[in-house]
Structure 1
Amino acid sequence: MCGICGAFSASGPPPASPQVVARMQAQLVHRGPDDDGMFLDDRVGLGFRRLAIVDLDGGNQPISNEDGNLWLICNGEIFNAPSLRRQLIHKGHQFATGSDVEVILHLYEDHGEALLEQLNGQFAFALYDSHKKRLFCARDPFGVAPFFYTQVGKALVFASEIKAILTYPGVVREVDLTGLDQILSLPGLVSPRTMFKGIHSLPPGHKLVADGRGTRSSAYWDLDYPTSAAPAQRDETFATAVCEALANSVERRLMADVPVGSYLSGGLDSAFITALMADHSVDPLNSFSVSFDQPMFDEDKYQRLVADRTGSHHRRTLHPADHISAALRQSIWHAECPVKESYNTASLSLSAATRDAGVPVVLSGEGADELFAGYLGYRYDAFRAQRRQAAPCPAEAALRARAFGAADVFYEKNLLSHEAQRRNLYAAPLAGDLQQFCFSNTPLVDENKIQGRHVIHQRSYLDFKLRLGDHLLGDHGDRMLMANSVEGRFPFLDRDLVQLVTQIPPDQLLHGFEEKHVLKQAAIPHVPAEIIAREKFAFAAPGSAFLLLQDCPWITDLLSPATVRAQGYFDVAAVEALKQAALNEPALPSGGAPDDALLTVLSFGIFLDCFDMPLLGPGGA
């Protein structure tokens, strides 16, 4: 993974000078500390910061094709590049580097935008076609790699992180209230929304084209579950196929000219990946974990169990609760959004330790819960379906239909009652205008991929769209990894594996109300029985109550009535009530509750300060 940035305009003056591109690059040094590159002409300015993973000596970007009419910058990896490269060479294409992403240029020469159908990887790229005066951009199917963009006059401005876009002349900083409402209502932001009004996130599985006809984006891939059950097969058949596909995915993601390690959480997903890495004789096999000084959060026992079984060189990073407040501001700066949990600070500590150990690439287990029905919500859905619960009231049904594509879909919470809670939390002027920026005003997902599907598949689709792409892979994953120049790779998010699992009947994914049934069966020969039998343990870290009890002056100030009133986004009395409630339940972890609204208020205050955002209260903008 690297950092890309730039600007394009099909007409008018050049969209970027070397100085402008350099300023944007400077905001992405943490994403690419090893090298940089730049290309400019009268229509485009492209900037690149490199984290050297493949072809260490010759893989810097931008890269051009043989004729010099195509220029590419790409953040990410193309895991099936070796086979694509052989095919392209056979057709007569000439490669200038050993970089895996160069295949994109030559595929474009042969197939145009349809090249995306052939890529298996994690990527966000911008490809400039000087003959057609066109910029062609795309983001991988699951959203591992970020891509943000905005329009400034005639210029399309883009970057791997929003902080680079903010340096471009003419970009206005304004809070996107719908983005804030998404964070309060959902696991996190949902593309194309960001916390910055007018700055968009290209959704996973989407492409974007800018030329003389304007700028337009569209989907090129989406998760698509069948509308009827797959033919019955034996459990062993599914388990064998899943194990083989996952092993192939892990092998593809070992492609690197630098050391590759794994993150061990103590759960099934990361344990299985680490075990498969050991099967592929990764030497040395490095594994990393984070632990806490409070037993209720710590998983060290299970992490050690897997490390001993696989023979990995395991490093444990202690993240004491009193370190959270010190790292919170840094985590918000990199996430570029408020959060409702403090675990991102632990992720920062973990990536720092990984980088210090000289391992710039790690494999991790994200995506397994969404793919194999791993969250508790899948059980609840199955219980509700079995008991044939009464239909929601008309108002609730309307909200669900608008947000989730179907009136009978329940996701996380009752939307009607939660709307009342948010209205109480917002400052009076915003509360009165809530219907103008409410997160459910616009559809969040493609309703055609929800309707007619099994309830387990419905939740899986929603989890991929509302939880995984922009939150777990975004502010929680990519941004916390790349803050310390570490690339994350996710074997469960492989197009071949995902296509296989979508065809597994839902009653095998959640078999007898046992989550991840098929994955557990597949893991039996590879993973300790204690890990397979273990109940799901959600990522958790000390929440807002712990932060209040530390009595940090800056936290006290950010949550004070005077500061909350000056910010003008939240109601002072409501915030005071949240503070009192948190102090009455000081042991409650943020990861153990669906929402830590007070931590969202606190982190939003940090966000306003970090990015010099306008205030709405007395004396504000």
Structure 2
Amino acid sequence: MCGIAGIFNQRAAQQPDAQTLVNMAAIMHHRGPDGFGYQIIDDAGIGFSHARLSIIDLNEERARQPFRSDDGQLLLAHNGEFYDFKRIRADLTAQGARFRTKSDSEIVMHLYQRGGLAETLPHLRGEFAFALYDKAEDSLYLVRDRFGIKPLYYTETADGVVFGSELKVLFAHPAVRREFSSEGLYHQLIQVMVPGSTAFAGVHQVPPGHVVKISRSKETLTLHSEKYWDVDFPLEHTYPGDDVDEQPYIDGVREHLLEAVQHRLTADVPVGCYLSGGIDSCAILGLSAAATQTSVKAFTIGFDSDQYDETPIAKEMAEATGADHEIMRLNADDLYDHFVKTIWHTERTIYNTLGVAKYLMSQRVHEVDYKVVLTGEGSDELFAGYPAFRKDMFLHGLDHLPENERKEWQALLEQNNKLFKGAMLAREEYVSPAFNAKMGFTPSCVQPWLSCSSVALPLLAESHREAVKEYDPGAAIAATLDEDMLAGRHPLDRAQYVWIKTMLEGQILTWGGDRVDMANSMEARPAFLDHHLAEYAFQIPPHLRIKGNKEKYVLREAMKGLLPETLYKREKFAFMAPPAHTDPKKWQAVVKLADQYLSAEAVAEAGLLDFAEVQRTFAKHESDEVSLDEKVQLDAVINHMLGVQILHHHFVKTDVPKLAATRANELGWHAS
């Protein structure tokens, strides 16, 4: 729910401009169309604003944020949900706390007053990002949930720090720079980003599971980032042997997942489910239907390509649970027609139009008056569902297998992963010396993107290309990974750790999650990323996550009674939209966008790309001599080229502060 924003100035006497705070809320009206609020603490140089999506406590007047404590010492703005908050409220009330709202958000201030932030964080369960200012300490805390489900950005200006739920919120402040960094631009073209970074110079993300503390002393702000949670797998030698009884693990997964689902059904508005043809979303729907004992609204995306369409299995699952099932069918025209609008919300490039499909689905959810859906994101991360994990398990975790069994594995991997080569799997083996040094091998999940560097580097305009000629993107990413969380771990655990730190946070939860969901005022709740469930899943032996050549084995067994037989037996299929090369109409839609955003004039104006290389890339894509997996890779690169040009149009060429002010005026949102 919601979006947050704020300003913390170096000088306490310099009050934030109230209308700027309101404008920052207005430009993210899509995150919170049900109302806005702002608070400025006198003589403290601090101000927050908030755009509200009403899900828990629908009384807008009572639940309006930002919240200020009764003693005036604390200021809070919160985005997301805290689960199990009713139990916590009851416990705090018994200790003498007095709540003014029925909102889950208010528990933060009361917990903080009793034990400080370190004692507060372990109680917080869910997806959240919040800002908390403590006047007594004269410090601002920016806090993000454990997996990075909810976004939170910040940057420094000449006067202080500006933060918000989206980049456009920061850019609505007239003092914030709006320009690409050379490294950020490079990473946009190769898809995988350095954790904590963005495409723009000086703009950072609060990393998942971290607190950024900003303290003021003598008109100077000091920033300090500290980790409060991490993905912590057991040491490899502590796992039980292959003969361990698997039933307790199966029962444990079922128990923890059901609890996570039940918590995420808590809302004062109807809750639906996203439903694909995968085990993950089908399990969520099945458990939701069982927990509510009512017909659950289920939403499915259908594609006009049999290779990528999962609606037959989704329909079977919907019928089995008695769900009120709605299928939104998308064709080639739909996806690229909405590409530009989607990039406004993702604020980063996308390699596949799945992000557009998710944007259109959230639009449909909003149209039928739903604000909340449960989703299946996170399951593959916990239970090793992606093709890259099986590949790494085979290459680095099954050295003991006899030669004949290794050949069977190799054959199955080659046969089952053809569609993903060039995108989710590298066309050829790619070795990053930095990753090899850090963790013993280069994870298959980052190889397809790091291997794009030879394609992406020539695409950069000369000034940017010169700036990164000695830059190693793999080394930059590897440097952010905590060696203590990798040392002594099983190869599969190391591979999953890297995916969670890179692709989950930077892709699946961003342009495949929060940003395209909240674009249409719709909150997605990924039950698999409940940290209680995750911490249990981390303890499951690798051979029960991938058993034989069957991924997510323990989850399959835990959900066996809920799933149709065809789905129970089905191999993992990554949910993707059909790439551009698979459909002539879709390719023509790409060319049409390129005529506008990748023309010689547009490329010269932005100063980001080399136009001659752009032309060569398109010519290569249209050549009959290019292999299928190379076409897949070029599809992704072309999407990224379009993306950086569109990002320039949205956030550099456009006067974002003026746009935000216009939006506030249209909404009638004004500082009083």
Q: Do both proteins adopt the same fold according to a TM-score greater than 0.5, normalized to the shorter chain? A: yes
**Aligned residues of 1:261 and 1:363 also touching (Cα < 8 A):** yes
- Alignment-derived partner of residue 137 in structure 1: 142
Q: Which residue of 1 aligns with 2:410?
A: none
Assess if the C-alpha contact under 8 Å between 1:540 and 1:590 holds in 2. no
Name the counterpart of 2:464.
430
Q: Where do 1:551-562 residues align within 5 Å?
A: 553-562=592-601
CA gap 1:217/1:68 in 2 versus in 1, 3 angstroms: same
Between the aligned partners of 1:250 and 1:175, the Cα distance in structure 2 is 40
Q: Residues of 1 paired with 2:65 and 2:369: CA distance? A: 23
Q: For residues 499 and 88 of structure 1, what CA distance do their matches in structure 2 show?
A: 26
Alignment of 1:403-418 (within 5 A): 405-412=438-445, 413=447, 418=452
Shift of 1:516: 0.3
| Counterparts of 1:472 and 1:591, CA distance in 2 | 23
Give 1:259's aligned residue.
Answer: 270
1:522 aligns with 2:558: yes
The worse-fitting range, judged by mean Cα deviation, of 271-280 and 445-454 is 445-454
SS in 1 for 2:64: coil
1:262 corresponds to which letter in structure 2? C
Name the residue aligned to 1:216: 224
Q: Distance in 2 between matches of 1:602 and 1:418?
A: 16
* Cα pair distance change 1:552/1:414, threshold 3 Å: closer
Q: Is the contact made by 1:7 and 1:158 (CA closer than 8 Å) also made in structure 2? A: yes
Aligned length: 606
Partner of 1:580: 619
Q: Cα deviation per residue 1:276-295 (whole Å; 9 max; x = unaligned)?
A: 00111253410001112232
User: 2:235·2:490 contact (CA, 8 Å) conserved in 1?
Assistant: yes
Output one character per residue of 1:304-356: Cα deviation in whole Å (capped at 9) or x when no partner: 01100111101111222101222001100001111111111111110011111
Q: What does 1:191-590 align with in structure 2 at a 5 Å threshold?
A: 191-213=195-217, 214-228=222-236, 229-232=238-241, 233-281=244-292, 283-385=294-396, 386-387=398-399, 396=431, 398-401=433-436, 405-412=438-445, 413=447, 418-442=452-476, 443-545=479-581, 546=583, 547-550=586-589, 553-584=592-623
Task: Name the CA shift for 1:551/1:471 in 2 (closer, same or farther; >3 Å).
Answer: closer
Distance 1:559 1:296, change over 3 A: farther
Q: For residue 602 of structure 1, what is the aligned residue in structure 2?
A: 642
Conserved 8 A contact 1:544-1:582: no
Contact 2:127 2:149 in 1 (8 A): yes
Which moves more between the two structures, 589-598 or 326-335? 589-598
Q: Which moved more, 1:86-95 or 1:584-593?
A: 584-593
Residue 48 to residue 235, structure 1, CA distance change in 2 (3 Å):
same
- In 2, distance between residues paired with 1:453 and 1:152? 41
> Residues 262 and 288 of structure 1 are in contact (CA less than 8 Å); yes or no, is this contact kept in structure 2?
yes
Secondary structure in 2 matching 1:273: helix
Q: Distance in 2 between matches of 1:24 and 1:416?
A: 35
- Structure 2 gap ranges (5+): 401-405, 407-429, 655-672
Cα deviation for residue 494 of structure 1 reads: 0.8
CA shift in 2, pair 1:419/1:588, >3 Å: closer
Assess if the C-alpha contact under 8 Å between 2:386 and 2:572 holds in 1.
yes
Q: Distance in 2 between matches of 1:194 and 1:409?
A: 23
Question: In the alignment, does 2:124 pair up with 1:84?
Answer: no
Residue of structure 2 in register with 1:50 after alignment: 52
User: Which residue of 61, 71, 78 maps to 1:74?
Assistant: 78
Alignment partners' CA distance in 1, 2:71 and 2:49: 20
Is the contact made by 1:136 and 1:207 (CA closer than 8 Å) also made in structure 2?
yes
Contact 2:188 2:644 in 1 (8 A): no
Q: Which residue is equivalent to 1:28? A: 28
2:190/2:450 contact within 8 Å kept: no
What are the superposed Cα offsets for residues 508-548 of structure 1, whole Å, 9 maximum, x if unpaired?
11111210000001010111111121122212223344543
Partner of 2:661: none
SS at match of 2:79: strand
| Comparing 284-293 and 96-105, the one that deviates more | 284-293
SS of match in other structure, 2:528 = coil
Distance 1:272 1:151, change over 3 A: same
Closer, same or farther: CA 415–593 of 1 in aligned 2, 3 Å = closer
Separation in 2, partners of 1:182, 1:159: 22
Q: Offset of 1:108 from its aligned partner?
A: 0.3
Describe the superposition over 1:205-237 as per-residue Cα deviations: whole angstroms up to 9, x where unpaired. 000111225121111111111113423531221
TM-score, reference length from structure 1? 0.92
Distance in 1 (alpha carbons) for counterparts of 2:126 and 2:189: 31
Distance 1:122 1:36 in 2: 21
Alpha carbons 1:400, 1:415 under 8 Å: kept: no
Work out whether residues 150 and 199 of structure 1, in 8 Å CA contact, stay in contact via their aligned partners in 2: yes
- Cα 1:279/1:454, change in 2 over 3 Å: same
For structure 1, the 5+ residue unaligned runs are 390-394, 615-621
Aligned CA RMSD, in angstroms, stands at 2.4
- 1:619 paired residue number: none
> AA paired with 1:256?
A
Alpha-carbon distance in 1 for matches of 2:202, 2:15: 18
Alignment CA distance shift 1:592-1:306 (3 Å):
farther
Does structure 2 conserve the Cα–Cα contact (< 8 Å) formed by 1:150 and 1:158?
yes
Partner amino acid, structure 1, of 2:185: L
Question: What is the SS of the residue equivalent to 2:529?
Answer: coil
SS in 1 for 2:143: strand
- For 1:506, give the aligned amino acid: P
Contact 1:351–1:486 (Cα < 8 Å) also in 2: yes
Q: CA deviation at 1:248?
A: 0.2
Once the two structures are superposed, the pairs formed by residues 180-195 of structure 1 within 5 Å of their partners are 180-186=185-191, 188-195=192-199
Cross-structure match for 1:617: none
Q: TM-score, normalised by structure 2?
A: 0.86
Counterpart residue identity of residue 595, structure 2:
T
Which position in structure 2 is the counterpart of 1:392? none
- Distance across 2 between alignment mates of 1:212 and 1:197: 23
Q: Is the 8 A contact 2:579 2:632 kept in 1?
A: no
The CA deviation string for residues 462-497 of structure 1, in whole angstroms up to 9 with x for no partner, is 111011112111122101000100001011001111
Q: Distance in 2 between matches of 1:79 and 1:482?
A: 19
Using the alignment, how far apart are the partners of 1:366 and 1:31 within structure 2?
20
Structure 2 residue aligned with 1:101: 105
Which shows bigger deviation, 48-57 or 79-88?
79-88
Contact 1:306–1:527 (Cα < 8 Å) also in 2: yes
State whether residues 179 and 439 of structure 1, in contact with CA within 8 Å, keep that contact through their aligned partners in structure 2.
Answer: no
**Does the CA contact (< 8 Å) of 1:38 and 1:62 recur in 2?**
yes
Cα deviation, 1:94-115, whole Å, max 9, x if unaligned, reads 1111001111000000111111
CA contact (8 A) 1:509 1:515 kept: yes
Distance 1:416 1:67, change over 3 A: closer
Question: 3-state DSSP class of the match of 1:550?
Answer: helix
Deviation at 1:251, TM superposition (A): 0.2
Q: CA distance change for structure 1 residues 70 and 432 in 2, over 3 Å: closer, same or farther?
A: closer
The answer to which of 118-127 and 581-590 deviates more is: 581-590
